[in-house]
Amino acid sequence: MFSNLYITEMNESDIDSVVSITQEIFPFSPFRVDNTVTEMVGPENIHKVSIGILENSTKTFLAISNNKILGFLSWSFDKNITSTTAKRYYRIRLFGVKKEYQRKGIGSELLRYFLNFVNKQKGDIIEVSTDVNNIPAISIYLKFGFFYTSSFSTLRLFPEKFMPQENEELEILKISNVKELDEFVKLRNRNVLFENYPIQCLFDQRIEERTKEIILHNYQKSIELNFNSFSIYIAKAKDIFIGYGAIKEDFSLSSLLSRISGQHISVYRIFDIFVLEEFRNKKVGSTILSKMITNIPKHYNFVEAIVPSHNYAMVNLLRRVGFRLSHCMINLAR
């Protein structure tokens, strides 16, 4: 342990130094492990994705010795989940130590400092995600009392891999009026399996089932309230509405990747897809998905979908139209 090591908050002037550290660590970055995205952005630039994470974090703590930044831990306080669950909710966003100073207790000191800080703030829940193959990271979290909650798979579709599917008996409508929106709401209200959604807190046993239902409802309601920003499609068979899907450009990620690569990059995200149980396994979901992707209004670089890893039906649905697995994240909480 460094005798003169101390922990302090990051200033805006420190961000470049922190980002440079990420260039040599995080081999399991969700973007670095995807060779196609790495080449798209530029191998020399891909570590700069951390800029967006740092900028959107509440604060970042730095471990400093002899005026050198040796490690950092960025975190966020989630006001929305806190207000819904009545539990003060924190999330570790980025956590790393400069390679030459690893295994010297610096990471443990940073994590201990953060846990003490959260305790003083009367925090209730801390969450973190890391690549399922990042054994050193998983080990340190387990050492400090974190426990497994869930795992999510990220799948990406690149335009040249798209394989549209079609069920000719279906009519797929893009919502454009109040009547169609009402039909979407009716279907949405029948979609109650929160286990199918990549919202980490839904898998924490300390949160009551009723609260989880509210979180899922709020997520789905946000699509309805912002339906002009989303492209929402509903499937109709013999005058019966049987499923829907929602897609939207991820402007935050598109902007970040464009900024760090120096070229225009457009990323779309699948936010929801649902088919009534009695109409599943009839190419309804893949037809809705195909329609959403076919109708993306401009050139896109890739479409992303994040699903709980146990949701095999959704994983297989995405694969049928050309999505491929990018990476899998394990989620832990304390």
Cα dihedral across residues 256, 308, 135, 304: positive or negative: negative
Q: Which residue has the higher pLDDT, 239 or 319?
A: 319
One fold for 6-145 and 156-329 = yes
Exposed, middle or buried: residue 106 (CB in 10 Å: 0-12, 13-18, 19+)? Answer: buried
Q: Where are the beta strands (DSSP E) in 132-258?
A: 147-157, 171-174, 231-237, 240-249
pLDDT in tens, 233-287: 999 998 899 999 999 999 999 999 999 999 999 999 999 999 999 999 899 999 9
- Order of strands across the sheet with 147-157? 6-9, 59-65, 68-77, 89-97, 125-131, 324-333, 147-157, 302-308, 267-275, 240-249, 231-237, 171-174
pLDDT in tens, 102-138: 999 999 999 999 999 999 999 999 999 999 999 999 9
- Beta bridge partners, 274, equal 244
Strand pairing of 89-97 and 125-131? parallel
The residue type found at 167 is: N
CB 93 within 8 A of CB 52: no
* Cα 61 versus chain centre, distance: 23
pLDDT of residue 32: 86
pLDDT higher than threshold 80 for residue 2: no
pLDDT in tens, 129-175: 999 999 999 999 999 999 999 999 999 999 999 999 999 899 999 99
The CATH number that domain 6-145 falls under is 3.40.630.30
Q: Phi then psi for 233, rounded to 5 degrees?
A: -120, 140
- Beta bridge partners, 177, equal none
pLDDT in tens, 24-36: 898 888 888 899 9
Instruction: List the chain domain ranges.
Output: 6-145, 156-329
Instruction: Classify residue 160 by its DSSP letter.
Output: G
CATH H superfamily, domain 156-329: Gcn5-related N-acetyltransferase (GNAT) (3.40.630.30)
